[in-house]
Structure 1
Amino acid sequence: MPTSERKRHILVVEDEAMISMLLEDMVLDCGAEIVGPVAKFADALELAHKAEFEVAVLDLNLNGTLSYPIAEVIRERGIPVIFATGYGTDGLLDRFSDCPTLQKPFSQQDFAEAVAAACHQDAADRCGS
């Protein structure tokens, strides 16, 4: 199947159930497939090592544990990471300052633009924005 017809797989790591459900809808609305969603650090770390996906959306704070180790594994695999956080870009460690950030709460448009930025694509090409 040509790349343009293949659905993108997006890993979602989010510990808030309502936000996780919203993210799942946003992924599906973009015509992509969700990997996860996962809420626990250990489960997310396992998927970071083993799962097949093209981009990851990580909640920065998973029930009090920062998701940086998960992001490091994903970036070592050459996969882009998007952080979803209420802290904004100022809350990120310097070594992750190049990662797109979704400031909670965020819209479908914000999500589509972050995925496009992470994957170096026009948002309209992926999510019909």
Structure 2
Amino acid sequence: MDWPAEGLSSRICLPGDAWQAVGVNEIAQPAGVSVASGPATHAGRRVLVVEDEALTAMAIQMLLEDAGYAVLGPVGRVEDALDLLRSGPPDAAVLDVNLFGATVDPVAATLEDMGVPFLFCTGYHNGGTAGERHPKAPVLGKPVNANNLLAAVGGLISGEARAGSAAG
């Protein structure tokens, strides 16, 4: 969904065998309203997801994959994230701050050393101490809005992300 000032626009994709349209006419797109970009826009872009809450991790993974990203992980432990990074840098990363009581700082520091942009997706205000140590990283508050997450990841990849620019 896209909800600019001009109005709400929604794009729904269903497999061809999941529905049957009878008596439905395609309507023209109103002037000035854009349709959200499809998965091809992000094809091949790799996003590391580091999240210890299984349901949250799966939701983030599905959201990113539906948008066309290739997801690395998700993983819920610092060691697993560092192992994934040894195979090469992703294009961006989504990091939970607290992973089963451990801080995600080693992962964030490695990403910084690799020149990989990342954001924090956390319940801590302003990212807690991780946000203080990595002030350039945007912070999305949990529960995160899907559109905000996609916009923030897209901003990381395009180089348009700003610290504290995304509130979720």
TM range (shorter): 0.7 to 0.9
Task: Tell me the distance in 2 between the aligned counterparts of 1:65 and 1:49.
Answer: 20
In 1, the alpha carbon distance for the partners of 2:157 and 2:126 equals 19
Gaps of 5+ in 1: 123-129
State the distance in 1 between where 2:104 and 2:149 align: 19
Structure with higher RCO (Cα < 8 A, 6+ apart):
1
| Structure with the higher helix share, 1 or 2 | 1
Distance 2:75 2:48 in 1: 8
Counterpart residue number, 2:92: 55
Q: Give % identity.
A: 34
Alignment of 1:98-109 (within 5 A): 98-109=136-147
Q: Is residue 117 from structure 1 mapped to residue 155 from structure 2 by the alignment?
A: yes
Give RMSD over aligned pairs.
Answer: 2.1
- Equivalents in 1 of 2:74, 2:133: separation in Å? 25
Residue type of the partner of 2:84?
A: L
Which residue number corresponds to residue 126 of structure 1? none
Q: Where do 1:33-48 residues align within 5 Å? A: 33-48=70-85
Question: Which consecutive aligned stretches of 4+ in structure 1 deviate over 6 angstroms post-superposition?
Answer: none
1:15 corresponding residue in structure 2: 52
Q: Which amino acid aligns with 1:119?
A: I
For residues 26-79 of structure 1, what are the alpha-carbon distances to aligned partners after superposition, in whole Å with 9 as ceiling and x for unaligned? 111221111111112211121233344100111110000010111100110011
Structure number with higher strand proportion: 1
Contact 1:82–1:100 (CA under 8 A) maintained in structure 2? yes
User: Structure 1 29/73 Cα, relative in aligned 2: closer, same or farther at 3 Å?
Assistant: same
Q: TM-score, normalised by structure 2?
A: 0.65
- Residue 90 of structure 1 and its aligned partner are, at CA, apart by 5.2
Structure 2 CA distance for aligned equivalents of residues 22 and 80 of structure 1: 21
Any gaps of 5 or more consecutive residues in structure 2? 1-40, 161-168
Provide the C-alpha distance between the structure 2 equivalents of 1:75 and 1:47, rounded to a whole number of angstroms: 15
Judge conservation of contact 1:101–1:114 (CA < 8 Å) in 2: no
Instruction: Give the structure 1 partner of residue 22 of structure 2.
Output: none
Partner residue in 2 for 1:125: none
Residue-pair matches, total: 120
> How has the CA–CA distance of structure 1 residues 29 and 121 changed in structure 2, closer, same or farther, with 3 Å as cutoff?
farther
Q: Is the 8 A contact 2:49 2:74 kept in 1?
A: yes
Give SS of 2:52's match.
Answer: coil
